[in-house]
Amino acid sequence: MEAKVFSVKGEEIKNITLSDDVFGTEVSEGSIYYAINNELANRRVGTASTKTRGEVRGSNAKPWRQKGTGHARSGDKKSPVWVGGGTIFGPRPRDYSYKMPRKMKRLAMKSILSLKVAQEKVKVVEDFTIESGKTKDLTGLLKGLVKDESTVLILKDDDKMLRRAGKNIPWLKFLTYSRLSAHTLFYGKNVLILETAIGNLNDFYAAE
């Protein structure tokens, strides 16, 4: 599969080969669904907590005697039936994260990349960086490539200066070829991939 490579000015300069095993595979909607759910679950903090009747502060004494008062019998004021008492089956701190099979995760990433290519939302750009690390320089460069809408830029490596320049651009997200995010990639309206990152993706995901 061939794709056009654009300069930072938005001009077509040459063609590049996209691996059919990565960018032309059959889309697996199930793997995409599970990959996104897995990432969202792993992000959950799980710190919600309530106190049971054993943890609520208060006296253990009976508020009145068992019989003869006309009231319903009661054990103590920490009972869940009292205002200020403990909570029955309330949320407790827990870990929501879980591991997803490696092959299924790789299939999900290849499916999303193939889907974006089929939708013509992928654009390959010549390698560039922002040595100044200034947001103004990066926004000026991106004007010739994409609109001001949700965009994912896939890097060949962790370019700190480029990430610094894009830190204050709310519609721009950065990913490296070896650490893709199914959620970020799937919901990005545009996908920009650096030229070297294409070769890295071809090698990294075509292995299996």
pTM (predicted TM-score)? 0.84
**125 inside domain:** yes
Distance CA 165, CA 130 (A): 7
Q: Six-digit token pair at 87?
A: 């909570």
CATH number at residue 153: 3.40.1370.10
**81 inside domain:** no
Domain that holds residue 153: 2-26+111-205
Looking at residues 36-63, what average pLDDT do you find? 94
What is the pLDDT at residue 207?
A: 60
pLDDT digits (tens, 9 = 90+) for 52-101: 999 999 989 999 999 999 999 999 999 999 999 999 999 999 999 999 99
Domain count of the chain? 1
**139 inside domain:** yes
**90 inside domain:** no
Portion of the chain with pLDDT greater than 70, in percent: 99
**116 inside domain:** yes
Q: Determine how β-strand 2-6 pairs with β-strand 12-17.
A: antiparallel
Report helix angle 195-205 to 102-118, nearest 10. 140
Distance CA 50, CA 94 (A): 12
* 44, 94 contact by CB (below 8 A): no
